[in-house]
Amino acid sequence: RDTGIVRDDAGSIVELHWAKKNVVDADLVVLSTFAASGALRHLVKLDLERNPRVTDLGVRALACALRDGELPALGKLWLSPTSVTSEGIRNLSERLAQNRRSVKTARPRAQKKKTGKARS
């Protein structure tokens, strides 16, 4: 049976492909609870397209997980907004954008090489 779960070499979940899997809000609440345990800290992609029973409640659970830093690596999220309001999508988009910024700022900055030349 295809679970839609992709793991890396260490066994961490890095992708969830749940498009057309009849996902409901309760599944996303459980997913966000699971994320709180740290089990999804390496999750990079989450595909929830074509799940018409996902509403603002499920999107809110995901947004809370993002806000709380429980999905630090998440950079790609696919969602069909059939039952989700534009406010729910906007809230989730903002959280995802903040998540991306935190991932980018967590990387060490490159050191500038000193050439020994004096500035004039």
DSSP letter for each residue of 22-70? ---HHHHHHHHHHHHTTTTTT--EEEETT-TT-BHHHHHHHHHHHHTTS
The reported pLDDT for the residue numbered 80 is 79
- Can you give the pTM of this predicted structure? 0.74
The reported pLDDT for the residue numbered 103 is 46
Closest among 4, 55, 12 to 35, alpha carbons compared: 12
Q: Per-10-residue mean pLDDT for the chain, 120 residues long?
A: 88 94 94 93 93 90 92 88 81 82 45 54
State the residue for tokens 């988009």.
93
Domains in the chain, start-ordered, CATH in brackets? 5-104 (3.80.10.10)
The reported pLDDT for the residue numbered 102 is 53
